[in-house]
Amino acid sequence: MVGWKSFIERLIIMSFIDYAMKLMSSASTTTVTCPVCGVRSIQSTSKIRLNQAMICPGCKSLFVAPH
């Protein structure tokens, strides 16, 4: 039947992407310390690299981690 093979292919690609995303997210996290309250939290290194603001889980303040 038409679409059968593409369905399997899509399933394989989807699971591969999911695996790759998990691998990347686990590999690219780091612990940052909040400059306001000092609470340590796990953030992605890509956020730090791109100078994106992150939210502190302790005091909910936005801060940009130093490189």
Residues making contact with Zn ion (CB under 5 A): 34, 36-37, 39, 56, 58-59
Best CA proximity match to 44, nearest among 17, 22, 15: 22
Q: Given the complex with Zn ion, which of 10 and 40 has the nearer CB atom?
A: 40
**Least distance CB 55 / Zn ion (angstroms):** 9
> Which residue number, 21 or 53, has a Cβ lying nearer to Zn ion?
53
Residues 6+ apart with CB under 8 A from 26: none
Q: Which of residues 12 and 37 has its CB atom nearest to Zn ion in the complex?
A: 37
Q: How far is the CB of 9 from Zn ion (least distance, A)?
A: 46
3 state SS of 37: coil
